[in-house]
Each structure stands twice: as C-alpha cells, then as structure tokens.
Structure 1
Amino acid sequence: MAKIYRRLNLFLAKPLIDGRGLEDLLAKAPVDNYPMADILGIEGVLCVKRSTEKRPIWGPVLDEVAGRVIPGLANRSSSAVLLLRVDGDVFAFAFGYGRYLIEQSLFVQDFGIRTALNTLDDKSLRSVDLHTLEDQPVQKKSQAARDSEVGVFGIDILRDVLRAVTGVPKNGVAFVQIAGGDAMFSFGVEMEASDFPMLARRIKGYYLNDDYKKSFSWVDNVRKIKDEGSINALNSQLVQAVAARNPEVMVTLPEIGAWDTILGFSFTRKKDGVRPVIHAADYIDTIPELSRLTIDGLKNDRLFVHDVDGNITEHSVYRCIYFEIVDGDKTKIVFDGKWYEVDATFIGRIAATLDLIPISTLAFPAVEVWEEGGDSKIESEGNYNIRAAASHGYFLLDKKLVKTDRTTSPIELCDLLTPAKQLVHVKHRKGGSAGLSHLFAQGGVAAEIMLGDKAFRKKARTVLRGVNSAARDLVPLDTLRSADYEIVFLILGEASAVLKQSLPFFSKVNLSKAFENLSQRGFRVSIAGAPTTPRPIP
C-alpha cells in the first residue's frame, strides 16, 4: 500500500490504574468501538463518536428571509480516537474533534510541548503561544511571516510560560511542520495504517530526550499545571493550609487596584466589616466551621473591595489566594486561581538577584493607622507622600503627570524626588502582588523614558519647575548620566528588614527584572519599607 501524507495529533497516556482498560481513557461520550484489522497486527481499539446532524442556529433566520424552510442546512462533526498499546505505553491518535473524546487528566500534560521543542529547529519557528505571569495574566499568540529564531518573538524568560509552539523540524526528524501544546503533539508525515505503532514509539523517544535544553532551557522555569488530578491534590493542601490558619496563606487583589480610591476590604459573611488592608485572618475568621471548608467554599466566597464613593466590586476568594507549596525540588504556587510549578534552580536565581538589591539609606516616616467609627484605617498613599515630602525635604511629584509619546498615557516621573537625585516610587503593601508588580514596572518605565527621550525631559523640567524651581535642574535637558540617579521602590506597610523575603514570588520576579534592566542602564536601584505606627492622638 502506498504511503499517504497525513496530519496527526498524538497523546501519551499516563500508566493505567490496575483493572482499567483502554476505553477508561475516554471522557463520557457515546462512541462505537472497532477492533483492529487482524492484518495490521496492532493492539488497540478505534473509538468513533456517534454523531448526529444538527440544523445550525442561524437556520430559522434564513427560513424567515426566504419565506420557507431552506433544505439541506445541517452541521455534522466527526470525532475518533485510535487507542494503541505500544511497548507497555498507551497512545491516543486523535482525528477530527477526537481530542475532546479523551479524558485530558489521564494523559501526560507536557508530552506535546516537550516533544515539539525536542524536534523543532530553534531557528525555524513559525508561532508561539505564551501566558505572561502578570497581575492580570495575559495570553499572547505571536506568528512570524517566515521561519524565525526564538528571539524574534520577544519572549520574557522571567515571566512567560510557553504554552504552544509551531515550526520546522530539525535535520533528521522525518516529519513536516510540527506543533506542540500541553499534552498534544501534531505533525505531518507520509504513512500507512501499519505505521502507527512505529510512529508512537519514535515520538516517545523524542519526548524522553533533553535536546530542548540546548535552546529552550528557560521553559522549565515556570509552567502552568494542567493535570486535574494534580490540581485537585494541590487544592486539598490549600484547603488544609487555610483551615490550619497557615500564616503563609496570603489573600491579595488578583488585579491592579486604584489605591487612592479604595476605602477598604471585606469578605462574605461579614460584608460590612470593612478593613483598610487585606488579611487572610480576616477572611478565615468569617468561616463558621473550618473543619468543613472545601475548595468550592473558597471559590464561592467573595472578597469585596469598597471605594470612597460607596461602590463595591468583588472577586472570588480562590482567585485572591497566593500560596506556595514546596514539593521536593519544585515549588507549586497558586496565583489568580491557577497553579504553577516553579523550578528550584529558577527560584535560586531570583533569590540571588534579590540579594544584590540594597536597602535604601533614605529616611521615611512610618505609615499611620488608627481606629475610626469601629473600623481600622490606614493612611492613604497620597497623604503619606505629602507628609513624607514635608518632613524630609523631598519634592512631591505624586500625581504630577508628564506627557510622553512612549506610553499610551502621561506618567509620573516618580512620587518623591530628593535633592540628591533619588526617584522614589511608592505603593501600599496592602494590595499584595498586584500593586507591587505595577510599582516595579512603573519605576522602570519612567527611568528608561527619562534616560532616552529628550522631549520627555523637557516636559518633565516644566513640571518640576511648577513644583519647585530648585527641582528643575535635577533633570538636565541634554546629557543625562544614569549613574547620577537612584531608583527607590518604597513599599508602605512593611519593614525594610523583612521586605524582600515577604514579597510574593511573582512580585520577586518582577522586582528582579526591574533591578536587572535598570542596573544594565547604569541606574542605582534600592528598595525600602515603611512599617505601620499608631496615629498620634491630637
């Protein structure tokens, strides 16, 4: 029989539990099973979904337009999965919509992406799908007009999780235009029916090698956990940690908040108990029976965000939880309702970078807290900046915006500027990772634009002159030496001594990136904390 070009999708199953058969790998769907043709000598079963024709939902509109029922309008989808036993492994070749017939949690979750990376020519990529670990996680797909190196796609190896990739196979790999994402490996090949076991065996070999580490070693830094079984087990550990009041469980906003307008926070079962900062203990105290807490309870409970105008927004508590679990040489992190696995070596590199960031020697006042009407209050960022500037002779630039063509909206040069050319960026710790990561990005962007854009410096000097005539000359119009400036990240509500250690992991990643980028441009970078203190009684 002549070989015919086919486009195939392949999955590798996890070891079957004793007593389970091939059909147990399928999701619940009506299928017809067909044994393999004896002449092929293949051990397996072909599962074909029983499909029915459905009239499209837009059919009635056409009937109305024509004034009669239009015949022949029908949708019909086909799905099939070929389940094979090869050398003790079970493989699934999916046809049509067959990938939806298998129970995804029973298959190896990195089989597709790892096999693709092991077989791709790293200089001939066509597209990449990325998940960027930000406060508001972003999914991105980049496609090149021609075969390209990985550097063309602008991947940030500190924050981007590679989800899928397509490209041209490297020399010696007898496939055409391969792709991989999570559990599914896709490829083109000339073949005949008897070749299925051979293909499965060869591709398993590609999966097992470590060739990808030559060009794609960074993909092991952080990966999203997809396996439902693993997620369920991690969720169980999370529930146990919450029930045990583990102090490492943090509750934080899953997105960037407008801190100058936020009055405070409350939780389900105590919606009126508004607090100025988010504490996990405030939520845990609302749970009537911790011993009966479930993951569904965490997902259904709400964090309420109250603003100064009386508006209330809400988020699932599960989305707001940040928690790290050490598992051997890996660290598992739940963040924005998703679980990630972080490599120990990567964690070590981030820790080493953080060790290089000095604590600022600048003097800052503590953040004032007080009780009012039965509610706890904390000093707003704006009021704190005013007080810090007045008490230490700093120039107040909070909310003093400078227009630039480099960003979509005007930006602050900084919140506080010292006569010694220290640009201080300030943010509350109370919001968790969302505000902090924004703080680090904000400081980096402002410094880079100030360094490279003369037009921005000219506008900044005008703003500075409006604040104080002595401040204007701190930013020269022409030659600016980055080494003359220090970028200071000030975090309110946390002492400097424990600040770096207490940051959420992804905030540590973003701080490390900001430090490296700014240092490479010649800026000095430091970090500082301002602990809380009771407001003096008048």
Structure 2
Amino acid sequence: MAKSYRRLNIFMAKPSRDGQNFKDLLTDAPVDEYRPADNLGIDGVIYVRQSSEKRPGWGAVLDEVAGVAVPDLTNRSSSAVLLIRVDGSVFAFTFGYGRYLIEQSLFVQDFGLRTALNTLDEKSLRSVELHTLEDQPVQKKSQVTRDSEVSVFGIDILRDVLRAVTGVPKRGVDLRQIAGGDAMFSFGTEMEGADFPALARRIKAYYANDDYKTSFSWVDNVRKIKDEASIDLLNTQLVQAVSTRNPGIVVTLPEIGAWDAILGFSFTRNKDRVRPIIDSADYINTIVDLAALNIDGLKRDKLFVHDVDGHITEHSVYRCIYFEIVGGDKTKIVFDGKWYEVDATFIGRIAETLNQVQISNLPFPAVEVWDDGGTSKIESEGDYNIRTAAVNGYFLLDKELVKTDRTTSPIELCDLLTSTKQMVHVKHRKGGSAGLSHLFAQGGVAAEIMLGDKAFRKKARTVLRRVDPAAGDLVPLDNLRSADYEIVFLILGEDSATLKQNLPFFSKVNLSKAFENLTQRGFRVSIAGAPTIPRPIP
C-alpha cells in the first residue's frame, strides 16, 4: 500500500506490572477488539468504542421554533486506539476521541511535552500554553502568525510552567508540524500501516534524549505534577504531615483577600471561634482523631473568612495548605490544591538571590494584638501605618492614590515614605503567599512607573504636597535618580530574623523577581518584618 500523509497522536505507557495486558490500559468504556493483520508483524490490539447515534440536546429548541421535529439531527463520535508493544514498551496511537479511551494515569505524563521540545526548532514555535504561578494561578495560551523564537511569547521562566507547545521540527527530524503537551505527542508524517512500530521506536528515542536542555532548560524549573499515582503518594505524605503536626504545614488563603475588610478566620468544627490570623494549629486542633485523617477530610474541611459586614466565604482546607516535601534533587510543593515539582538547582538560584536582599535598618514598631470579648484581634494594616507614621515621623501615603495611564487603576506610591527616600510597602503575613506576592508586585510596579513616567511624577508631587509640604520634593519632576531610593517590603506578623526563610516558595520566587527587576533599574531593595506584641493596657 502506498504511503499517505497522516496526523497521529501517540502516548507511551509507564512500565507495566506483571500480568498486565493491553486492555488494562483502557477506561471502562465498552469497546470492540480487533487484531492487526498477520502480515504487518505488529504486536498489538485495536480497540474501537461501541457508540450509537444521539440527538443533540439543542434539537428540542429547533423543533419548537420549526413547529415540527427537525430530521437528521444526530451526533456520532468515533473513538479508537491502537495499542502496540515495541522493544518492551507499550504505545497508544489514538484516533478520533480515542485519547478518552485510555487511562491517562497509566501513561508517562511528560512524554508529549518533552518529545516536542526535543524535536522542535526553537526558532520556529507557533504556540505555547502556560500555567503561571501567580497569586491566583492563571492558564493562558499564546500563538503567533509565523514561526517565532520563544522570547516572542513573553515567558517568565521564574513563574511560568510550560504545558504545551507547537512548532516546526528542527533539521534532521523527519516529521511535520509537531505539538506536545503533557502525555500526548502529535505529529504529521507520510506512512502506511506497517510503519507503526518503527514510528513508535523513533519517537521513543526522541523522548529519551536531552536535546531540549540546550534551548528549553528552564522548563525543568517548576512543573505541575499530573500523574495520579504520584499525587496519591504525595497526598498520603501530606496527610501524615498534618497528623503529626509537622511545623512546615502552612494554611493560607489561596487568593488575594480584601484585608481591610477581613475580620478574621475560622475552621470547620469551630466556625464561631474567629481569629485575626490564619494559624495552622487552629485547624489541626479542631480534628478530633488525627490518626483517622485522610485526604478527603482535608478536601472537605473548610477555612471560613469572616468580613466586617458579617459575610462569610469559604475555601477547602486542601486548597489552603502550603507544604514542601524535600527529597533527592527535587522539592515537591502543594499550593492552591495542586502539586508542583521544583528542581533543586532552581531552588538554589532563588536562594542565592534572596541572600542578596538586605534586611532594612529602618525602625518599625511591633504589630499589636489583643483580646476583645473572647475574640482575638490584630492591628489592621491601615491602623499600623497611621501609628508607625506618627511614631517614626514617616509620611503616610497609605490610600493616597496617584493616577497613571500605565495601569488600569490609580496606584499608591507606597504606604510609608521617609525623608531619606525610603519607600515602604506594607502587607500582613497572615495573608500568606497570595498577599505577599501582591506586595512584591505592587512595590515593583510603583517604582518602575515613578522612574519612567514624568506625568506620574507630576501627579505624585501634588499628592505628596497635600500630605505634607515637606514631602513635595522627595520625588523630583526631572532628573530622578533611582539610586537615591530604597524600596522596603515590610511584612507584619513576622520577625525580620526569620522572615526570608519562612516565606512560601512562590513568594520567594516573586521577591527574587522584584529584587532583580528593581536593582537592575538602580533601586536599592530591602525587606523587614514586624513581630506581634500584646497591646499595652491603657
């Protein structure tokens, strides 16, 4: 039979257990089974899903409009998979909706993406799909109209997890337009039925090499773990850590909160005991039988967020847990209900950057906490800023907004400003990773706009003179020198001595990014903490 052009999707199964047969790799969908023709010499099986025609759900509304039953409205989806064994490995070629016939957790989860990166011309990419590790993780896809280098897509190698990529094969790879994401590798080629084993063997060789490290080494920095068996094992370790009260367990909000409006937090089984900060021990202490805890319990239990107006929102505790498991040359992290694997070399680079971030020598008072009728309370950011400005003689710029056409809304120059041009940005530690990452981004944006936008500086000077005439010239209209300014990130509820080491990993990443961006522009950057202290009795 003559060769013809085909578009194929291929998966590679994980090493099989003893006695596993082809059908064990499928879901429970009903299938018909066919053996390959003897003359092809293929060790494999074809499975075709048993399907029937269905009338689409939107047919009824058309019947109503037409006044009669509209004929010939039918859907029929075709699904098939060819499972073959080559050199001891099993591969799945899927057709139609065939990828839904295979049990995805039994296949190598990075097979598609890694194979694509090993075979792509890095200067001829067409699209990328990314998972950005922001305060609230973002999924995004970018595509271009012509072959492009990876730099065109604006990938942030500190925060972006590459999920899928398409492009043109590099020289020496006899395939056409290729794509890879997670477990599936897609490609076009001229082939005939007898070529499946040779194709599988060739693509396995592409997967096995490390060519991608030349141009795409950053993809190993952080990757999302999708393998269900690995996730189950990690969840077991997470449950054990909670059950043994591991001090590394951190419960935090999985998204940015409106801190000025938050009264406090509570947990399932103790909903009415509202505390001003999120304390992991408060949750663990509500569990009657720690030995009986399981992952379903973590997913079922809730963190309640109480606001000053009496409204209560809730999040699954599993989504709120941040925990790191260190083993070998990898670190596993659960964050927002998802597990990530972080390369040790990448962690080392982040640590090296953090070592360069100095502790501020500015004096800051401790944050006051007190008991109010049995309810624990903590000083709000706004009240703390007012008190600190009064005690230390700083200019209070909290909630003093400056308009700019560089952002979608007005921004604060900073929360506190000193007469020696230290710009202090303040955030509570109680907000966890989401609030802290927002803090670092906020400080970076304000400094960069101040440096590059004369119109913004003009408006800022007006705001400064309104706050205090003595502050008016701290931001010159012309000839602003970034080296004259120090950007200070102040975190409430944590001592300066332990601050950097206790930051969640993704907050460390964002602090490192802010530090590098700002220092490259000439700013000095430091960090400071303010521990809690009982409010003095009047």
**TM-score computed with the length of structure 2 as normaliser:** 1.00
CA distance in 1, matches of 2:58, 2:278: 48
User: Which residue of 1 is the match for residue 514 of structure 2?
Assistant: 514
Q: Secondary structure at the match of 1:56?
A: coil
C-alpha distance in structure 2 between counterparts of 1:379 and 1:65, whole Å: 62
Q: How does 1:274-289 map to 2 (within 5 A)?
A: 274-289=274-289
- Residue 204, structure 1, aligned to residue 175, structure 2: no
Aligned to 1:353: 353
- Inter-partner Cα distance in structure 2 for 1:472 and 1:145: 49
**Which residue in 2 is equivalent to 1:120?**
120
Partner Cα separation in structure 2 for residue 120 and residue 346 of structure 1: 24
Q: Deviations over 1:471-522 (max 9, x none)?
A: 0100000111000000000000000000000000000000000000000000
Partner of 1:273: 273
Corresponding residue of 1:142 = 142
Shift of 1:135: 1.5
Structure 1 CA distance, aligned partners of 2:43 and 2:390? 80
Q: Deviations over 1:136-157 (max 9, x none)?
A: 0000100011100000000000
Paired with 2:263 and 2:59, the residues of 1 have a C-alpha distance of 52
After TM superposition, where is structure 1 displaced by more than 2 Å over at least 4 residues in a row? none
Give the corresponding residue for 1:427. Answer: 427
Q: Which residue of 2 aligns with 1:410?
A: 410
- 1:116-146 per-residue CA deviation (whole Å, 9 max, x = no partner) reads 0000000000000000001100001000111
Q: Which amino acid aligns with 1:73?
A: L
Q: Which runs of 5+ in 1 are unaligned?
A: none
* Counterpart residue number, 1:492: 492
Query: Residues of 2 paired with 1:135 and 1:461: CA distance?
Result: 31
For 1:251, the aligned partner's letter is V
Q: Does 1:229 align with 2:229?
A: yes
Q: CA deviation at 1:60?
A: 1.1
What is the CA distance between 1:71 and its match in structure 2?
Answer: 1.4
In structure 1, distance between residues paired with 2:440 and 2:58: 49
Partner of 1:294: 294
SS in 2 for 1:466: helix
Give, in angstroms, the shift of residue 314 of structure 1: 0.6
Q: Which residue type is aligned with residue 532 of structure 1?
A: T
Two-structure CA RMSD over aligned residues (Å): 0.5
2:448 matched to 1:448?
A: yes
Letter in 2 for 1:309: D
Distance 2:448 2:130 in 1: 25
Residue of structure 1 in register with 2:41 after alignment: 41
SS at match of 1:488: strand
- Amino acid of the structure 1 residue aligned with 2:245: R
Where do residues 458-497 of structure 1 align in structure 2 (5 Å cutoff)? 458-497=458-497
* SS of structure 2 residue aligned to 1:55: coil
Deviation at residue 323 of structure 1 after TM alignment: 0.3
* Aligned-partner SS, 2:359: coil
Return the offset for 1:454.
0.3
Q: CA deviation at 1:65?
A: 1.6
In 1, the alpha carbon distance for the partners of 2:354 and 2:58 equals 58
> Which runs of 5 or more structure 2 residues have no equivalent in the other structure?
none
1:472 & 1:114 partners in 2: Cα distance? 55
* Residue of structure 2 in register with 1:81 after alignment: 81
Q: Secondary structure at the match of 1:430?
A: helix
* 1:164 aligned partner: 164
Instruction: Note the alpha carbon deviations across 1:263-311, whole angstroms, 9 max, x for none.
Output: 0000011110000000111001111111111111111111000011111
Query: What is the Cα deviation at residue 93 of structure 1?
Result: 0.3
Equivalent residue runs for 1:389-400 within 5 Å: 389-400=389-400
- Superposition deviation, residue 327 in structure 1: 1.9
- The corresponding residue for 1:381 is 381
Name the amino acid aligned to 1:421.
Answer: K
**What amino acid does structure 2 have at the position aligned with 1:456?**
F
Aligned-pair CA distance for 1:391: 0.5
Tell me the residue number matched to 2:243.
Answer: 243
Q: Report deviation, 1:470.
A: 0.9
Shift of 1:83: 0.2
Q: Percent identity?
A: 81
Q: Which amino acid aligns with 1:341?
A: E
Per the alignment, residue 92 of structure 1 pairs with 92
